[in-house]
Chains A and B, each alone.
Chain A
Amino acid sequence: MGKVKRSPWLLHYDGSSCNGCDIEVLATLTPVYDAERLGVENTGDPMQADILLITGGINEQNAPVVKQLYDQMPRPKVVVAVGICACTGGIFKDCYNIRGGVDTTIPVDIYVPGCAARPQSIIDGIIKARDLFQKRSDEHDEYEKTHHGGAGEEKING
Protein backbone atom coordinates (compact mmCIF):
# COMPACT_ATOMS: atom_id res chain seq x y z
CA MET A 1 0.00 0.00 0.00
CA GLY A 2 1.60 3.20 -1.16
CA LYS A 3 1.09 6.71 0.00
CA VAL A 4 -2.59 7.62 -0.06
CA LYS A 5 -3.11 11.28 -0.66
CA ARG A 6 -6.85 11.30 -0.32
CA SER A 7 -9.58 9.39 1.49
CA PRO A 8 -12.26 8.69 -1.07
CA TRP A 9 -15.90 8.89 0.08
CA LEU A 10 -18.46 6.30 -0.91
CA LEU A 11 -21.95 6.87 -2.18
CA HIS A 12 -24.23 3.85 -2.16
CA TYR A 13 -27.28 3.66 -4.37
CA ASP A 14 -29.69 0.76 -4.67
CA GLY A 15 -30.66 0.36 -8.33
CA SER A 16 -33.24 -2.36 -8.69
CA SER A 17 -31.52 -4.92 -6.49
CA CYS A 18 -33.22 -7.41 -4.20
CA ASN A 19 -31.64 -5.88 -1.05
CA GLY A 20 -29.20 -8.75 -0.70
CA CYS A 21 -26.22 -6.80 -2.01
CA ASP A 22 -27.34 -3.59 -0.23
CA ILE A 23 -27.31 -5.30 3.09
CA GLU A 24 -23.91 -6.77 2.35
CA VAL A 25 -22.60 -3.31 1.43
CA LEU A 26 -23.86 -2.05 4.80
CA ALA A 27 -22.36 -5.08 6.57
CA THR A 28 -19.06 -4.30 4.86
CA LEU A 29 -19.05 -0.84 6.44
CA THR A 30 -19.82 -2.09 9.99
CA PRO A 31 -17.01 -3.17 12.37
CA VAL A 32 -16.92 -6.90 11.57
CA TYR A 33 -15.64 -6.27 8.03
CA ASP A 34 -14.82 -2.61 8.56
CA ALA A 35 -14.16 -1.16 5.12
CA GLU A 36 -13.54 2.22 6.75
CA ARG A 37 -10.07 1.04 7.81
CA LEU A 38 -9.13 1.45 4.13
CA GLY A 39 -9.64 5.17 4.42
CA VAL A 40 -13.06 5.35 2.81
CA GLU A 41 -16.17 6.81 4.39
CA ASN A 42 -19.85 6.39 3.62
CA THR A 43 -21.72 9.54 2.66
CA GLY A 44 -25.26 10.28 1.59
CA ASP A 45 -24.39 13.26 -0.54
CA PRO A 46 -23.42 12.70 -4.19
CA MET A 47 -21.68 16.10 -4.32
CA GLN A 48 -19.11 14.89 -1.78
CA ALA A 49 -18.68 11.37 -3.13
CA ASP A 50 -15.76 9.97 -5.11
CA ILE A 51 -16.76 6.32 -5.47
CA LEU A 52 -20.28 5.23 -6.46
CA LEU A 53 -21.24 1.76 -5.26
CA ILE A 54 -24.30 0.67 -7.15
CA THR A 55 -26.30 -2.50 -6.66
CA GLY A 56 -28.99 -3.96 -8.89
CA GLY A 57 -29.85 -3.53 -12.54
CA ILE A 58 -31.28 -0.52 -14.31
CA ASN A 59 -34.97 -0.08 -15.04
CA GLU A 60 -36.91 2.65 -16.81
CA GLN A 61 -37.71 4.61 -13.67
CA ASN A 62 -34.34 4.62 -11.93
CA ALA A 63 -32.19 5.23 -15.01
CA PRO A 64 -32.54 9.05 -14.78
CA VAL A 65 -31.85 8.90 -11.02
CA VAL A 66 -28.63 6.93 -11.52
CA LYS A 67 -27.55 9.26 -14.31
CA GLN A 68 -28.24 12.31 -12.20
CA LEU A 69 -26.28 10.91 -9.23
CA TYR A 70 -23.35 10.16 -11.54
CA ASP A 71 -23.43 13.64 -13.03
CA GLN A 72 -23.55 15.29 -9.61
CA MET A 73 -20.35 13.60 -8.45
CA PRO A 74 -17.21 15.71 -8.90
CA ARG A 75 -14.43 14.48 -11.16
CA PRO A 76 -12.41 12.23 -10.87
CA LYS A 77 -14.92 9.50 -10.02
CA VAL A 78 -15.04 5.71 -9.96
CA VAL A 79 -18.11 3.48 -10.38
CA VAL A 80 -18.28 0.03 -8.82
CA ALA A 81 -21.09 -2.35 -9.86
CA VAL A 82 -21.79 -4.65 -6.89
CA GLY A 83 -23.51 -7.98 -7.52
CA ILE A 84 -24.37 -9.88 -10.64
CA CYS A 85 -27.55 -7.82 -11.30
CA ALA A 86 -25.47 -4.63 -11.47
CA CYS A 87 -22.92 -6.35 -13.73
CA THR A 88 -25.23 -7.89 -16.31
CA GLY A 89 -28.83 -7.92 -15.09
CA GLY A 90 -28.36 -11.38 -13.58
CA ILE A 91 -31.40 -13.50 -12.90
CA PHE A 92 -33.69 -10.58 -13.81
CA LYS A 93 -32.12 -10.04 -17.23
CA ASP A 94 -35.22 -11.38 -19.01
CA CYS A 95 -37.68 -9.27 -17.01
CA TYR A 96 -39.68 -6.82 -19.09
CA ASN A 97 -38.65 -3.81 -17.03
CA ILE A 98 -34.90 -4.44 -16.80
CA ARG A 99 -32.55 -2.78 -19.29
CA GLY A 100 -29.54 -4.75 -18.11
CA GLY A 101 -26.48 -3.96 -16.03
CA VAL A 102 -25.44 -0.53 -14.79
CA ASP A 103 -23.12 -0.11 -17.79
CA THR A 104 -26.15 0.39 -20.02
CA THR A 105 -26.58 3.82 -18.44
CA ILE A 106 -23.29 5.04 -16.95
CA PRO A 107 -19.67 3.90 -17.45
CA VAL A 108 -18.61 1.23 -14.93
CA ASP A 109 -14.98 0.71 -13.87
CA ILE A 110 -15.09 -2.25 -11.53
CA TYR A 111 -17.39 -5.27 -11.52
CA VAL A 112 -17.95 -7.25 -8.29
CA PRO A 113 -19.69 -10.58 -8.99
CA GLY A 114 -21.84 -12.66 -6.64
CA CYS A 115 -25.46 -13.24 -5.68
CA ALA A 116 -25.44 -11.78 -3.12
CA ALA A 117 -21.88 -10.38 -3.37
CA ARG A 118 -19.97 -11.40 -0.26
CA PRO A 119 -18.43 -8.71 1.99
CA GLN A 120 -14.95 -10.01 1.17
CA SER A 121 -15.43 -9.44 -2.55
CA ILE A 122 -17.01 -6.02 -1.92
CA ILE A 123 -13.90 -5.06 0.10
CA ASP A 124 -11.79 -6.27 -2.81
CA GLY A 125 -13.80 -4.03 -5.15
CA ILE A 126 -13.40 -1.05 -2.82
CA ILE A 127 -9.61 -1.54 -2.69
CA LYS A 128 -9.44 -1.65 -6.49
CA ALA A 129 -11.66 1.43 -6.70
CA ARG A 130 -9.48 3.30 -4.22
CA ASP A 131 -6.32 2.58 -6.22
CA LEU A 132 -8.01 3.58 -9.45
CA PHE A 133 -9.25 6.77 -7.82
CA GLN A 134 -5.69 7.56 -6.69
CA LYS A 135 -4.40 7.01 -10.22
CA ARG A 136 -7.09 9.23 -11.73
CA SER A 137 -6.43 11.95 -9.17
CA ASP A 138 -2.74 11.91 -10.07
CA GLU A 139 -3.58 12.16 -13.76
CA HIS A 140 -5.96 15.00 -13.03
CA ASP A 141 -3.25 16.83 -11.04
CA GLU A 142 -0.76 16.32 -13.85
CA TYR A 143 -3.25 17.76 -16.35
CA GLU A 144 -3.95 20.77 -14.13
CA LYS A 145 -0.21 21.34 -13.72
CA THR A 146 0.56 21.34 -17.43
CA HIS A 147 -2.52 23.26 -18.52
CA HIS A 148 -3.26 25.66 -15.66
CA GLY A 149 0.14 26.21 -14.03
CA GLY A 150 -0.18 23.87 -11.07
CA ALA A 151 -3.35 25.25 -9.48
CA GLY A 152 -4.63 21.76 -8.78
CA GLU A 153 -1.43 20.65 -7.04
CA GLU A 154 -1.47 23.62 -4.72
CA LYS A 155 -5.06 22.99 -3.77
CA ILE A 156 -4.31 19.42 -2.66
CA ASN A 157 -1.21 20.19 -0.64
CA GLY A 158 -2.94 22.84 1.31
Chain B
Amino acid sequence: MARKTVVPFGPQHPVLPEPIHIDLVMEDEKVLEAVPNIGFIHRGLEGLADKRDFNELLYVVERTCGICSFGHGNGYVQAVEKIMDVEIPDRAKFLRTIWAEIARMHSHLLWLGLQADQFGFESLFYEIWRIREKVLDLLELTTGGRLIFSVNKIGGVIKDIGDDKMKAILTNMSSIEKDMRVVQKTFMGDYSVQSRTKGIGVLTKDQIHELGAVGPVARASGISRDMRKLGYDGYGMIDFEPITSVFGDCFARIDVRLREVFQSIDIIRQAIDKIPQGELSVNVKGNPNGEALVRIEQPRGEAIYYVHSNGTKFIDRYRNRTPTFANLPALCEMLKGANYADVGMMVVTIDPCISCTER
Protein backbone atom coordinates (compact mmCIF):
# COMPACT_ATOMS: atom_id res chain seq x y z
CA MET B 1 0.00 0.00 0.00
CA ALA B 2 1.27 3.38 -1.03
CA ARG B 3 2.11 6.05 1.49
CA LYS B 4 -0.24 9.00 1.95
CA THR B 5 1.10 12.44 1.10
CA VAL B 6 -0.40 15.88 1.53
CA VAL B 7 -0.06 18.14 -1.49
CA PRO B 8 -0.91 21.80 -0.95
CA PHE B 9 -2.95 23.55 -3.66
CA GLY B 10 -2.67 27.34 -3.53
CA PRO B 11 -3.04 30.00 -2.24
CA GLN B 12 -0.99 31.28 -5.16
CA HIS B 13 -1.72 28.87 -8.02
CA PRO B 14 -1.59 29.32 -11.81
CA VAL B 15 -5.06 27.80 -12.30
CA LEU B 16 -6.94 30.54 -10.56
CA PRO B 17 -6.20 34.22 -10.03
CA GLU B 18 -7.77 34.03 -6.59
CA PRO B 19 -6.22 32.60 -3.45
CA ILE B 20 -7.82 29.42 -2.17
CA HIS B 21 -5.87 26.83 -0.27
CA ILE B 22 -6.80 23.14 -0.43
CA ASP B 23 -4.85 20.39 1.29
CA LEU B 24 -5.04 17.33 -0.94
CA VAL B 25 -4.44 14.02 0.81
CA MET B 26 -2.99 11.89 -1.97
CA GLU B 27 -2.25 8.22 -2.49
CA ASP B 28 -0.13 7.99 -5.62
CA GLU B 29 -2.07 9.97 -8.22
CA LYS B 30 -5.45 9.66 -6.50
CA VAL B 31 -6.96 12.25 -4.18
CA LEU B 32 -8.32 10.64 -1.02
CA GLU B 33 -9.55 13.73 0.72
CA ALA B 34 -9.63 17.46 0.15
CA VAL B 35 -9.53 19.91 3.06
CA PRO B 36 -10.23 23.51 2.07
CA ASN B 37 -8.76 26.40 4.03
CA ILE B 38 -10.22 29.80 3.32
CA GLY B 39 -9.67 33.25 4.79
CA PHE B 40 -6.98 34.76 2.59
CA ILE B 41 -9.29 37.52 1.35
CA HIS B 42 -11.30 38.02 4.52
CA ARG B 43 -11.71 41.78 4.95
CA GLY B 44 -14.55 41.97 7.46
CA LEU B 45 -16.85 43.76 5.05
CA GLU B 46 -20.01 43.01 7.01
CA GLY B 47 -18.46 44.76 10.01
CA LEU B 48 -18.51 48.06 8.12
CA ALA B 49 -22.27 48.22 8.81
CA ASP B 50 -21.32 49.89 12.11
CA LYS B 51 -19.36 52.65 10.41
CA ARG B 52 -21.34 53.40 7.24
CA ASP B 53 -24.99 54.40 7.14
CA PHE B 54 -27.44 52.26 5.20
CA ASN B 55 -27.12 54.33 2.01
CA GLU B 56 -23.32 54.32 2.02
CA LEU B 57 -23.21 50.62 2.84
CA LEU B 58 -24.59 49.90 -0.64
CA TYR B 59 -21.27 50.95 -2.18
CA VAL B 60 -19.37 48.70 0.21
CA VAL B 61 -21.70 45.77 -0.53
CA GLU B 62 -21.17 46.23 -4.27
CA ARG B 63 -17.46 45.75 -3.70
CA THR B 64 -17.98 42.31 -2.15
CA CYS B 65 -16.99 40.96 -5.53
CA GLY B 66 -15.98 42.63 -8.77
CA ILE B 67 -17.61 40.00 -10.98
CA CYS B 68 -21.09 39.82 -9.50
CA SER B 69 -21.00 43.36 -8.13
CA PHE B 70 -24.37 44.34 -9.60
CA GLY B 71 -26.10 41.31 -8.08
CA HIS B 72 -24.81 42.07 -4.58
CA GLY B 73 -26.04 45.64 -4.80
CA ASN B 74 -29.35 44.41 -6.13
CA GLY B 75 -29.84 41.94 -3.29
CA TYR B 76 -29.00 44.49 -0.63
CA VAL B 77 -31.29 47.23 -1.95
CA GLN B 78 -34.11 44.72 -2.34
CA ALA B 79 -33.73 43.72 1.30
CA VAL B 80 -33.78 47.35 2.49
CA GLU B 81 -36.73 48.15 0.20
CA LYS B 82 -38.59 45.18 1.66
CA ILE B 83 -38.06 46.51 5.21
CA MET B 84 -39.13 50.03 4.27
CA ASP B 85 -42.05 48.70 2.22
CA VAL B 86 -41.04 50.56 -0.95
CA GLU B 87 -42.45 49.53 -4.33
CA ILE B 88 -40.08 50.65 -7.09
CA PRO B 89 -41.32 51.80 -10.54
CA ASP B 90 -41.67 49.17 -13.26
CA ARG B 91 -39.08 50.82 -15.49
CA ALA B 92 -36.49 50.55 -12.71
CA LYS B 93 -37.34 46.85 -12.31
CA PHE B 94 -36.76 46.18 -15.98
CA LEU B 95 -33.54 48.21 -16.03
CA ARG B 96 -32.25 46.14 -13.11
CA THR B 97 -33.15 42.99 -15.04
CA ILE B 98 -31.26 44.14 -18.13
CA TRP B 99 -28.13 45.05 -16.15
CA ALA B 100 -28.29 41.84 -14.13
CA GLU B 101 -28.42 39.76 -17.32
CA ILE B 102 -25.57 41.67 -18.99
CA ALA B 103 -23.54 41.11 -15.80
CA ARG B 104 -24.46 37.40 -15.90
CA MET B 105 -23.20 37.15 -19.48
CA HIS B 106 -19.93 38.80 -18.53
CA SER B 107 -19.48 36.44 -15.60
CA HIS B 108 -20.29 33.31 -17.61
CA LEU B 109 -17.99 34.33 -20.47
CA LEU B 110 -15.22 34.96 -17.97
CA TRP B 111 -15.71 31.49 -16.53
CA LEU B 112 -15.85 29.79 -19.95
CA GLY B 113 -12.56 31.49 -20.81
CA LEU B 114 -10.89 30.35 -17.58
CA GLN B 115 -12.20 26.82 -18.13
CA ALA B 116 -10.77 26.76 -21.67
CA ASP B 117 -7.46 28.05 -20.33
CA GLN B 118 -7.59 25.34 -17.68
CA PHE B 119 -7.58 22.45 -20.11
CA GLY B 120 -4.97 24.18 -22.21
CA PHE B 121 -7.13 25.50 -25.07
CA GLU B 122 -5.41 28.89 -25.16
CA SER B 123 -6.90 30.19 -28.41
CA LEU B 124 -10.45 29.49 -27.27
CA PHE B 125 -9.70 31.38 -24.04
CA TYR B 126 -8.54 34.41 -26.03
CA GLU B 127 -11.55 34.22 -28.37
CA ILE B 128 -14.03 34.15 -25.45
CA TRP B 129 -12.34 37.06 -23.73
CA ARG B 130 -12.50 39.01 -26.99
CA ILE B 131 -16.27 38.46 -27.04
CA ARG B 132 -16.47 39.40 -23.37
CA GLU B 133 -15.02 42.83 -24.13
CA LYS B 134 -18.14 43.55 -26.20
CA VAL B 135 -20.26 42.85 -23.14
CA LEU B 136 -18.06 45.13 -21.04
CA ASP B 137 -18.37 47.84 -23.70
CA LEU B 138 -22.14 47.67 -23.25
CA LEU B 139 -21.80 48.08 -19.49
CA GLU B 140 -19.48 51.03 -20.02
CA LEU B 141 -21.89 52.58 -22.53
CA THR B 142 -24.93 52.30 -20.29
CA THR B 143 -23.42 52.86 -16.83
CA GLY B 144 -19.95 54.37 -17.20
CA GLY B 145 -18.17 51.56 -15.36
CA ARG B 146 -16.68 48.33 -16.64
CA LEU B 147 -16.95 46.08 -13.62
CA ILE B 148 -18.24 48.05 -10.66
CA PHE B 149 -21.04 50.35 -11.70
CA SER B 150 -23.14 51.75 -8.89
CA VAL B 151 -26.45 52.27 -10.67
CA ASN B 152 -28.73 50.97 -7.91
CA LYS B 153 -30.11 53.05 -5.11
CA ILE B 154 -32.68 52.41 -2.45
CA GLY B 155 -35.96 53.15 -4.23
CA GLY B 156 -34.91 52.52 -7.82
CA VAL B 157 -31.98 53.19 -10.15
CA ILE B 158 -29.99 56.34 -10.82
CA LYS B 159 -29.45 56.04 -14.57
CA ASP B 160 -31.71 55.46 -17.53
CA ILE B 161 -30.96 53.60 -20.74
CA GLY B 162 -32.13 55.78 -23.66
CA ASP B 163 -33.64 54.46 -26.89
CA ASP B 164 -30.39 54.82 -28.85
CA LYS B 165 -28.52 52.84 -26.20
CA MET B 166 -31.23 50.15 -26.22
CA LYS B 167 -30.65 49.87 -29.95
CA ALA B 168 -26.89 49.55 -29.37
CA ILE B 169 -27.53 46.74 -26.86
CA LEU B 170 -29.68 44.87 -29.40
CA THR B 171 -27.08 45.26 -32.18
CA ASN B 172 -24.32 44.02 -29.89
CA MET B 173 -26.48 41.10 -28.71
CA SER B 174 -26.84 39.87 -32.30
CA SER B 175 -23.11 40.01 -32.90
CA ILE B 176 -22.36 38.32 -29.55
CA GLU B 177 -24.90 35.60 -30.33
CA LYS B 178 -23.28 34.94 -33.70
CA ASP B 179 -19.82 34.68 -32.12
CA MET B 180 -21.09 32.47 -29.30
CA ARG B 181 -22.60 29.97 -31.75
CA VAL B 182 -19.09 29.33 -33.07
CA VAL B 183 -17.71 29.00 -29.53
CA GLN B 184 -20.54 26.64 -28.58
CA LYS B 185 -19.78 24.44 -31.57
CA THR B 186 -16.11 24.26 -30.54
CA PHE B 187 -16.87 23.47 -26.90
CA MET B 188 -19.49 20.85 -27.69
CA GLY B 189 -17.83 19.26 -30.71
CA ASP B 190 -14.10 19.26 -29.98
CA TYR B 191 -12.84 15.82 -28.92
CA SER B 192 -10.04 17.20 -26.76
CA VAL B 193 -12.58 19.17 -24.70
CA GLN B 194 -14.71 16.06 -24.35
CA SER B 195 -11.82 13.86 -23.31
CA ARG B 196 -10.89 16.27 -20.53
CA THR B 197 -14.40 16.90 -19.20
CA LYS B 198 -16.79 14.02 -19.94
CA GLY B 199 -17.42 11.77 -16.96
CA ILE B 200 -15.10 13.86 -14.75
CA GLY B 201 -16.35 15.15 -11.40
CA VAL B 202 -19.79 13.58 -11.54
CA LEU B 203 -22.32 14.66 -8.92
CA THR B 204 -25.67 12.89 -8.78
CA LYS B 205 -28.98 14.53 -8.03
CA ASP B 206 -29.08 12.99 -4.53
CA GLN B 207 -25.58 14.21 -3.72
CA ILE B 208 -26.54 17.73 -4.79
CA HIS B 209 -29.58 17.61 -2.48
CA GLU B 210 -27.47 16.34 0.39
CA LEU B 211 -24.65 18.86 -0.07
CA GLY B 212 -26.90 21.80 -0.84
CA ALA B 213 -25.19 22.92 -4.04
CA VAL B 214 -26.75 25.81 -5.93
CA GLY B 215 -26.79 27.47 -9.33
CA PRO B 216 -25.36 25.95 -12.51
CA VAL B 217 -23.71 23.15 -10.49
CA ALA B 218 -27.14 22.00 -9.26
CA ARG B 219 -28.81 22.57 -12.62
CA ALA B 220 -26.15 20.51 -14.42
CA SER B 221 -27.21 17.55 -12.25
CA GLY B 222 -30.86 17.88 -13.18
CA ILE B 223 -32.23 20.07 -10.39
CA SER B 224 -34.36 22.76 -11.94
CA ARG B 225 -33.81 25.45 -9.32
CA ASP B 226 -33.49 29.06 -10.39
CA MET B 227 -34.22 31.95 -8.03
CA ARG B 228 -35.18 34.17 -10.96
CA LYS B 229 -38.37 32.14 -11.03
CA LEU B 230 -39.36 33.86 -7.75
CA GLY B 231 -40.20 36.83 -9.95
CA TYR B 232 -38.16 39.60 -8.32
CA ASP B 233 -37.24 42.61 -10.51
CA GLY B 234 -38.77 42.19 -13.95
CA TYR B 235 -38.36 38.41 -14.07
CA GLY B 236 -42.01 37.84 -13.15
CA MET B 237 -43.04 39.39 -16.45
CA ILE B 238 -40.52 37.52 -18.57
CA ASP B 239 -40.94 34.12 -20.10
CA PHE B 240 -38.07 31.68 -19.46
CA GLU B 241 -37.36 28.21 -18.10
CA PRO B 242 -34.36 27.13 -15.97
CA ILE B 243 -31.73 25.36 -18.05
CA THR B 244 -30.79 21.90 -16.87
CA SER B 245 -28.72 18.91 -17.88
CA VAL B 246 -28.83 15.36 -16.51
CA PHE B 247 -25.21 14.20 -16.61
CA GLY B 248 -23.75 16.17 -13.70
CA ASP B 249 -20.16 16.10 -14.96
CA CYS B 250 -17.80 18.93 -15.97
CA PHE B 251 -19.03 18.75 -19.55
CA ALA B 252 -22.65 19.23 -18.44
CA ARG B 253 -21.65 22.25 -16.38
CA ILE B 254 -20.00 23.82 -19.44
CA ASP B 255 -23.12 23.01 -21.47
CA VAL B 256 -25.47 24.60 -18.91
CA ARG B 257 -23.46 27.79 -18.69
CA LEU B 258 -23.13 28.07 -22.47
CA ARG B 259 -26.89 27.76 -22.89
CA GLU B 260 -27.45 30.27 -20.07
CA VAL B 261 -25.52 32.86 -22.08
CA PHE B 262 -28.08 32.44 -24.89
CA GLN B 263 -30.88 32.52 -22.34
CA SER B 264 -29.56 35.84 -21.02
CA ILE B 265 -29.54 37.24 -24.56
CA ASP B 266 -33.16 36.13 -24.89
CA ILE B 267 -34.17 37.69 -21.55
CA ILE B 268 -32.48 40.99 -22.48
CA ARG B 269 -34.40 41.06 -25.77
CA GLN B 270 -37.70 40.36 -24.01
CA ALA B 271 -36.98 42.99 -21.37
CA ILE B 272 -36.14 45.64 -23.97
CA ASP B 273 -39.32 44.72 -25.80
CA LYS B 274 -41.53 44.97 -22.70
CA ILE B 275 -39.93 47.86 -20.80
CA PRO B 276 -42.51 50.55 -19.92
CA GLN B 277 -41.88 54.31 -19.86
CA GLY B 278 -41.94 56.06 -16.51
CA GLU B 279 -40.06 57.20 -13.43
CA LEU B 280 -36.69 55.74 -12.44
CA SER B 281 -37.07 55.90 -8.69
CA VAL B 282 -39.37 56.80 -5.82
CA ASN B 283 -38.51 59.04 -2.89
CA VAL B 284 -37.61 57.15 0.24
CA LYS B 285 -37.94 58.83 3.63
CA GLY B 286 -36.86 57.74 7.08
CA ASN B 287 -34.69 54.89 8.30
CA PRO B 288 -35.32 51.16 7.98
CA ASN B 289 -36.75 49.37 10.99
CA GLY B 290 -37.16 45.59 10.95
CA GLU B 291 -35.59 42.65 9.21
CA ALA B 292 -35.75 41.10 5.76
CA LEU B 293 -34.31 38.17 3.87
CA VAL B 294 -33.97 38.20 0.09
CA ARG B 295 -32.93 35.44 -2.27
CA ILE B 296 -31.66 36.27 -5.74
CA GLU B 297 -29.97 34.31 -8.51
CA GLN B 298 -26.37 35.35 -9.00
CA PRO B 299 -24.37 34.07 -11.99
CA ARG B 300 -23.00 31.42 -9.64
CA GLY B 301 -26.27 30.48 -8.00
CA GLU B 302 -28.59 31.40 -5.19
CA ALA B 303 -27.37 34.21 -2.92
CA ILE B 304 -29.09 35.19 0.34
CA TYR B 305 -29.11 38.71 1.81
CA TYR B 306 -30.23 39.36 5.34
CA VAL B 307 -30.60 42.83 6.83
CA HIS B 308 -31.58 43.60 10.42
CA SER B 309 -32.15 47.23 11.27
CA ASN B 310 -33.27 49.21 14.31
CA GLY B 311 -34.71 52.49 13.04
CA THR B 312 -31.44 54.44 13.12
CA LYS B 313 -29.17 55.36 10.22
CA PHE B 314 -26.91 52.39 10.93
CA ILE B 315 -28.23 48.88 10.40
CA ASP B 316 -27.55 46.25 13.05
CA ARG B 317 -26.49 43.37 10.88
CA TYR B 318 -25.93 42.72 7.24
CA ARG B 319 -25.37 39.08 6.32
CA ASN B 320 -24.75 37.50 2.98
CA ARG B 321 -24.65 33.80 2.03
CA THR B 322 -22.86 33.50 -1.28
CA PRO B 323 -23.23 30.72 -3.87
CA THR B 324 -19.58 29.62 -3.81
CA PHE B 325 -19.82 28.93 -0.08
CA ALA B 326 -22.73 26.58 -0.79
CA ASN B 327 -20.80 24.89 -3.58
CA LEU B 328 -17.57 24.24 -1.62
CA PRO B 329 -18.86 21.01 0.03
CA ALA B 330 -19.83 19.78 -3.43
CA LEU B 331 -16.30 20.52 -4.63
CA CYS B 332 -14.74 18.54 -1.77
CA GLU B 333 -17.02 15.59 -2.51
CA MET B 334 -16.14 15.81 -6.20
CA LEU B 335 -12.41 15.82 -5.48
CA LYS B 336 -12.52 12.50 -3.59
CA GLY B 337 -11.15 9.80 -5.87
CA ALA B 338 -10.13 12.24 -8.58
CA ASN B 339 -6.86 12.17 -10.49
CA TYR B 340 -4.37 14.84 -9.52
CA ALA B 341 -4.35 16.18 -13.10
CA ASP B 342 -8.09 16.89 -12.89
CA VAL B 343 -7.95 18.83 -9.62
CA GLY B 344 -7.43 22.22 -11.25
CA MET B 345 -10.31 21.60 -13.61
CA MET B 346 -12.69 20.60 -10.82
CA VAL B 347 -11.80 23.64 -8.76
CA VAL B 348 -12.57 25.88 -11.73
CA THR B 349 -15.73 23.99 -12.65
CA ILE B 350 -17.78 25.23 -9.68
CA ASP B 351 -16.90 28.78 -10.79
CA PRO B 352 -15.32 29.70 -7.45
CA CYS B 353 -15.57 33.30 -6.38
CA ILE B 354 -13.41 33.39 -3.29
CA SER B 355 -13.75 37.08 -2.52
CA CYS B 356 -17.56 36.67 -2.32
CA THR B 357 -17.14 33.69 -0.03
CA GLU B 358 -14.74 35.30 2.39
CA ARG B 359 -15.80 38.93 2.13
Contacts and interface: CB of A to CB of B under 8 A. Distances in A.
B325 interface: no
Contact of A116 (B19, B45, B113, B148): B148
Interface residues of A, number: 39
A57 interface: yes
Main secondary structure of the interface of B (DSSP, over half): loop
Given A59-B43, A65-B11, A115-B148, A32 B133 contact: yes
A92 B46 CA distance: 11
B39 A18 contact: no
A17 B110 CA distance: 17
Contacts of A22: 17-18, 66
A30 interface: yes
B41 A14 contact: yes
Contacts of B66: 17-23, 116
B13 interface: yes
B65 interface: yes
Interface in A32-90: 32, 44-46, 56-57, 59, 61-62, 65, 69
B353 A30 contact: no
A59 B42 contact: yes
A29 B154 CA distance: 37
Contact of B17 (A16, A25, A45): A25
B349 interface: no
A62 B65 contact: no
B45 A92 contact: yes
A117 to B, nearest CB: 10
Contacts of A130: none
Contacts of A92: 43-45, 48, 60, 63
A14 B18 contact: yes
A31 interface: yes
A61 B20 CA distance: 12
Interface string B227-257: 0000000000000000000000000000000
A56 B41 contact: yes
Contact of B12 (A27, A46, A97, A118): A46
B19 A62 contact: yes
A16 B48 contact: no
Given A19-B67, A20-B69, A98-B44, A91 B129 contact: no
Interface of B: 11-14, 17-19, 39-45, 47-48, 51, 59-60, 63-67, 69, 110, 113, 125-126, 129-130, 132-133, 136, 146-148, 353, 355
